[in-house]
A and B are shown apart, each in its own frame.
Chain A
Amino acid sequence: MVDASDFPILSRKVNGKRLVYLDNAATTQKPQTVIDAMNQYYTNSNANVHRAVHTLAGEATDGYEACRTSLKSWFNAERVVMTSGTTEAINLVAHGWGRANLREGDAVVLTEMEHHSDIVPWQMLSKERGVELRYVPVLDDMTLDMEAYEASLPGAKLVCVVHTSNVLGVRNPVEHIIEQAHAAGARVLLDAAQGAPHTRIDVTKLEVDFLAVSAHKMLGPTGIGCLTVKEDAFAEMAPFMGGGDMIDQVTVEGSTYQDNEHKFEAGTPRIAEAIGWKAAMDYLEGVDLDAEHHRLLNIARWTANALRELGCTVYGRHDDLDSAVVSFLHPDLHAEDMAHLLDAQGFAVRTGHHCAQPLLHRLGISSTVRASFYLYNTMEEAEGLVEALTTVLERFGGSA
């Protein structure tokens, strides 16, 4: 595991107790190197990127583009468009690729497991263009119905699927999904907001057309993410946001656009955030993600079993490739009450529908408590969570 002292926030107290941060599927904490890199940029190099010739502009441009270079290397990607996060990356596919390539009667395949950010943009496009949306159901074992998936492919132009569920931690069989989609002539968009922080994803090896990622879920700052795009899919995209930085020439008669990723990055980009994200990628380069995946999965499995012994229902299966997310409910205490009472003891967990209402509807529930583990979390913290929950249930379990 990483050194928790690299993360200054983890030494603070919450409600008089040591903070145990278990809301990593929502956002991760930042190492000092990320904070320093952003601080250094604003202190010494702040300038706009790409055009000015002065020294500061050169430093800012180098810093911003170094992030793209680092991401291309990390994901082995041909094209990396910087966005505000996974949500904007998916919207970029919907508007930049979807509007240019989808017509009335074309089908887009989604799943019941998607985050709202991979549902709502497609519903909007469907309303605008008459595109048919097909949803792959989730089975009782909380995996995708792969037979239904294959049946949904004829006539589909695009498959949008979450790499790893933010509620269940279930890692979908994306290799098979991509292979089947391509065989049927459909492109594939992977929502890797939850998958990318836990495993190295090689988009060239996967042959995935689009991959959407958020920096803040992998130690980077909020407000930045990216979309990796395969070269041939990139050629099919048209810009949907116009403005400065994305143009080649502008006259009163019309405009021409840049050929590269800048075409999709209108306006001043998130320079400090890109520099912070680069620092986060550098930090992750020093982490053995495979070893960490196994360590965290063991913690999640132990936690899930301990919670079951306390009478909780745990949603998820924690298979070898799944991420360290434990969603649960207890019959005697509402999820929201439980989260407040855990917070009173210093434990930061998530509660609610986790922006995945269709999935929760499928599971027959409206919310869960979710503990999600990341690089700085320990087995001792998981034991502390179970102990705190035991106290909560002893004291409040009968009163709900």
Chain B
Amino acid sequence: MISEALLEVIQELAEIEDRMERFEFIFDLADEVLELPVDDWTETNRVKGCQSQAHLEVRIENGHVHLRGGADARLVQGLMGLLALGMHDQPLEVAQAMTVDHIKEAGVLNSLTPSRSNGVRTMFDMVTTKLEAMSDGE
């Protein structure tokens, strides 16, 4: 079961028909992700394949997922916000219930294949792979 916050946002997005309004909505989600200060942007937390500079840090504390991120493109930062709504401060099993299809439901990206230069799929895969590795290590 995905987080309630993510569910609410997906329902709100479903009611927005105008594509520009969708972008506005996603841009506003940028504030939902805890800021990863530029000084903490490292090669380890860099999201590879992004045209923009994008960095995402993922940790597990007391069985809950913690995300911090930052990007210079507002859309990427907004999609990080969507990711945060689904994962940040959530138990591992709730965070892992989020799939790339939930990002698709934002309806702003034409393609979420790994080869696309927007890197959003890479960002999602990066988080889920890390969560998997961390949960295996627990």
Interface residues of A (CB under 8 A from B): 15-16, 333-337, 340-341, 343-345, 351-353, 366-367, 395-396, 399-400
Additional A-B contacts beyond A334-B72, A343-B110 (16; CB < 8 A): A15-B19, A333-B74, A334-B73, A336-B51, A336-B75, A340-B75, A344-B20, A345-B20, A352-B51, A353-B51, A366-B53, A367-B51, A395-B24, A399-B27, A399-B74, A400-B74
> How many whole Å from A26's CB to the nearest CB in chain B?
12
Q: Output the nearest chain B residue to A344 by Cβ-Cβ distance.
A: B19
Confirm or deny: B3 has a beta carbon within 8 angstroms of a beta carbon on chain A: no
Cβ contact within 8 Å between A337 and B20:
no
Residues of A within 8 A of B75 (CB): 334, 336-337, 340
Assembly CA distance A367 to B118 (angstroms): 13
Assembly CA distance A400 to B78 (angstroms): 11
Partner of B23 from the list A341, A352, A353 (CB cut-off 8 Å) is: A341
Partner of B52 from the list A15, A336, A341, A343 (CB cut-off 8 Å) is: A336
Cβ contact within 8 Å between B76 and A336:
yes
- Report the count of interface residues on B (CB-CB < 8 A): 17
Residues of B within 8 A of A400 (CB): 74
Most A-side CB within 10 Å, residue of B19, B24, B73, B117: B73
Residues of B within 8 A of A366 (CB): 53
Residues of B within 8 A of A334 (CB): 52, 72-75
Assembly CA distance A352 to B50 (angstroms): 10
Residues of A within 8 A of B52 (CB): 334, 336, 367
Q: List 19 A-B contacts (CB under 8 A).
A: A15-B19, A334-B52, A334-B74, A335-B51, A336-B75, A336-B76, A337-B27, A337-B74, A340-B23, A341-B23, A343-B110, A345-B20, A351-B51, A352-B117, A353-B51, A366-B53, A367-B51, A395-B24, A396-B23
Assembly CA distance A352 to B116 (angstroms): 12
Assembly CA distance A16 to B74 (angstroms): 23
> How many whole Å from B25's CB to the nearest CB in chain A?
12
Partner of B24 from the list A343, A352, A396 (CB cut-off 8 Å) is: A396
> How many whole Å from A109's CB to the nearest CB in chain B?
30
Residues of A within 8 A of B134 (CB): none
Q: Output the nearest chain B residue to A400 by Cβ-Cβ distance.
A: B74
Partner of A396 from the list B19, B27, B110 (CB cut-off 8 Å) is: B27
Residues of A within 8 A of B24 (CB): 395-396
Assembly CA distance A341 to B108 (angstroms): 9
Residues of A within 8 A of B23 (CB): 340-341, 344, 396
Assembly CA distance A366 to B50 (angstroms): 12
Residues of A within 8 A of B27 (CB): 337, 396, 399
> How many whole Å from A361's CB to the nearest CB in chain B?
15
> How many whole Å from B20's CB to the nearest CB in chain A?
5
Assembly CA distance A395 to B25 (angstroms): 12
Residues of B within 8 A of A353 (CB): 51
Residues of B within 8 A of A336 (CB): 51-52, 73, 75-76, 118
Assembly CA distance A334 to B51 (angstroms): 10
Assembly CA distance A215 to B20 (angstroms): 35
